[in-house]
Structure 1
Amino acid sequence: MEGRHEQDSAPADGRASASFLIDEALMFYYPAALRAMAATGVADHLADGPRTVEDLARLTGVDTQSLYRALRVSATRGIFEELDDGRFRLTPTGDALRTDAPLSARSAVLMLTDQSMWRPAGEMERCLQRGGPAFDDIFGMPFFDHFAQDQATAAIFHHGMAAMSAQENAPIAAAYEFPDSGVVVDVGGGQGGLLLAVLGRRGGLRGVLFDAEHVLRHHLLDVTETGGRWEPAVGDFFTEVPKGDVYLLKRILHDWDDDQCVTILRNCRTAMRPGGRILVIDAVVPPGNAPHQAKLVDLLLMASLVGRERTAQEFSRLFEAADLQLSRVVPTGTVLSIVEATPKDPDG
């Protein structure tokens, strides 16, 4: 009875805090449900209009009652909507979950919730206790070594990154005044979506897509608008990079620790032609307590890799160590910014 009395007399703000934290602890079930929806392809079957749960279960080959429960939770996030007659429809918010959506996020959802991301996140306490990622303990090797020997997981990662980037590439390319001529080298450029967007805006530019051979096989650049204006280059950016005038490093530096980033930047600096520049395209962590995707991705990086998201000041220190200087930070209208680095002014 004494314990009940203490609970009843607890201050209202204490109860509100406890309730809030319990709700927060349950939040991981939302992405779990989202992954289940993406994996089973439910959204694809709602493209032409609402359907019953029974219909959806039959089309996707899953259990009807379990599907309903996952749909009901997803509807609380605005991805689906349960209608008065019990059918579900796909909302405009959830439309990009379709495989054939113009900017489908389905592959990105599957990547971000893959076990290679999910399991280390659940072991974040290890990261706090000793520093370093939990990934190596769980999978027995570092992140990219695991992908190198597991083609299925590598495919999930590369297709997911391409999907994550697809909705960013056009605004990033439009945000920066690229030169009318010269060579743009997309370092670790994956399937080449950003390079495609850049070359599409500047007919006099040439491009080099630089990555591992197995990644380049899935490039997107064999289209009319880039015909004869680009070439693939296989290599390792920790060793050397091709010669060029503008270097794109999109979501590259955040994967690596400071020393590794400096190595990449120095290699670009060495290969860069006179008047060249390096464009680091990453999130720039803002100050203060406001939510920002970079703060969440930073925890993903902490759990699975050795890198981090960085502030403008932290980028400046990296550049300084690589004989570069931060020229400016260009917003792009996406969660990423263009952090421009140029060679140090010898008179500065």
Structure 2
Amino acid sequence: MPEQAAGAMAGDDREDAVLSRMWDFHSGLRMGFMLSAIAEIGIADHLVDGPLSVDELAERTGNNADGLYRVLRAMASKGVFTETSRRVFGLTPLADILRSDTANSLRDVFRLQGKHFMRNAYAEIGYSIRTGLPAFDHVNGEELFAYLARHPEMNELFSGAMGNAAGQTQQSAVEAYDLTGVRKLVDIGGAHGHLLASILARYPDLRGVVFDQPHVVPGAERVLAEAGVLERAELVGGNYLESVPAGGDAYVISHVLHQLSDSEAIAVLTNIRRVMDPAGRVLVIDPLIPEGDVPHPGKFMDITMMALSKGRDRTEAEFVEVFGKAGLRLAGTVGLKSASSVVVAEPA
């Protein structure tokens, strides 16, 4: 009888733990919205010099003190901010990431997540499940980049958020992958040239090309000039689905392929294969999804791709398939400190 009782209690404990975890997932929806709101308000920036009372924070930011207190109290229970004394809050390592002035800032990422045009797309993920099409287009009436082109303020926020996320990954890739011996590197979809600027600064004998849409690529001139590498860089505008600059012995494509469908990804890779040095390499910087139940941030990034675009994050087998159809073969992978990897291809 005691053994039966113990077994029953153990079973009850397991059931309680399962229910508790599911309630945590349910609370995660509210946590995401609170993070977005607090990032938008900029609370973390006001705490850089030390803890402040909720009344002071509310006065500085034009918010209701009771509402702000209740939200910060809930967030502090998860380690985002800390209540140092009654109704007085300070930064924690997690809250520090919501500051706008740190190298690891994700403030714009959380601000973007809270905007109606983004959060409504995530809320309609069921549409993507039913149809295989982007929920963003369904709820906003147009695809993401067309929407951003019509809303310059949101486009600026989107660019800031992508810069927050990509900067850490790109720096990790620069540190992890050795480009010694490469003479000319072409950055496909290089935007404002931050990745190429970091690479050229690290390899003084290297020359590079930033390739992106004609209205985007001029922004790279300032970034490259500030890094002191503009004289070794070329800015080229175009459409990577149609053609890419020739003559590189290395091509890097960072967080672009996962925005594209398989057919689009194959088109870009085929264009690279057609003009690259025969002994060259293609370096794809994207999440590399592990098979099975292994936890990986890329599995959730893939849901972002599903909601916002026709793209997807890929497993190694899926990379092998798209590379093969473009005349390339997988040569290796290099894991990064971030959620992404460098996936290396070479001519087949």
TM-score (norm 1): 0.91
2:272 corresponds in structure 1 to 268
Aligned residue for 2:210, secondary structure, equals strand
2:91 corresponds in structure 1 to 90
Aligned pair partner of 1:288 in 285, 292, 298: 292
Q: Which moved more, 1:104-113 or 1:319-328?
A: 104-113
Whether the 8 Å CA contact 1:180–1:202 is kept in 2: the answer is no
Consecutive unaligned residues in structure 1, runs of 5 or more:
1-9
Q: Which moved more, 1:108-117 or 1:207-216?
A: 108-117
The one-letter code matched in structure 1 to 2:228 is E
Q: CA RMSD in A?
A: 1.9
Whether the 8 Å CA contact 1:173–1:198 is kept in 2: the answer is yes
Aligned residue for 2:224, secondary structure, equals coil
Whether the 8 Å CA contact 2:330–2:344 is kept in 1: the answer is yes
1:136 corresponds in structure 2 to 137
Whether the 8 Å CA contact 2:240–2:271 is kept in 1: the answer is yes
Aligned pair partner of 2:335 in 312, 327, 331: 331
Whether the 8 Å CA contact 2:37–2:114 is kept in 1: the answer is no
Q: What is the rounded CA distance, in whole Å, between the counterparts of 2:51 and 2:302 in structure 1? A: 38
Q: What is the rounded CA distance, in whole Å, between the counterparts of 1:232 and 1:104 in structure 2? A: 28
How far the C-alpha of 1:212 sits from its partner, in A, is 2.1
1:242 corresponds in structure 2 to 245
Consecutive unaligned residues in structure 2, runs of 5 or more:
1-10
Q: Which whole-Å deviations, capped at 9, do the CAs of 1:113-155 have from their partners, x for residues lacking one?
A: 4333311111111122222111111111122222233222222
Aligned pair partner of 1:222 in 219, 225, 228: 225
How far the C-alpha of 1:109 sits from its partner, in A, is 2.2
Q: Which moved more, 1:235-244 or 1:217-226?
A: 217-226
How far the C-alpha of 1:18 sits from its partner, in A, is 4.2
Percent of aligned pairs with the same residue? 35
How far the C-alpha of 1:217 sits from its partner, in A, is 4.3
TM-score (norm 2): 0.91
Aligned residue for 2:280, secondary structure, equals strand
Whether the 8 Å CA contact 2:245–2:275 is kept in 1: the answer is yes
Q: What is the rounded CA distance, in whole Å, between the counterparts of 1:173 and 1:202 in structure 2? A: 10
Whether the 8 Å CA contact 1:116–1:304 is kept in 2: the answer is no
Q: What is the rounded CA distance, in whole Å, between the counterparts of 1:276 and 1:196 in structure 2? A: 21
1:298 corresponds in structure 2 to 302
How far the C-alpha of 1:230 sits from its partner, in A, is 0.9
**CA 1:46 to 1:11, structure 2 compared with 1: closer, same or farther past 3 Å?**
closer
1:104 corresponds in structure 2 to 105
Which protein is richer in helix relative to its size?
2
Q: Which whole-Å deviations, capped at 9, do the CAs of 1:192-240 have from their partners, x for residues lacking one?
A: 2221221111001111111124433443222253141112211111111
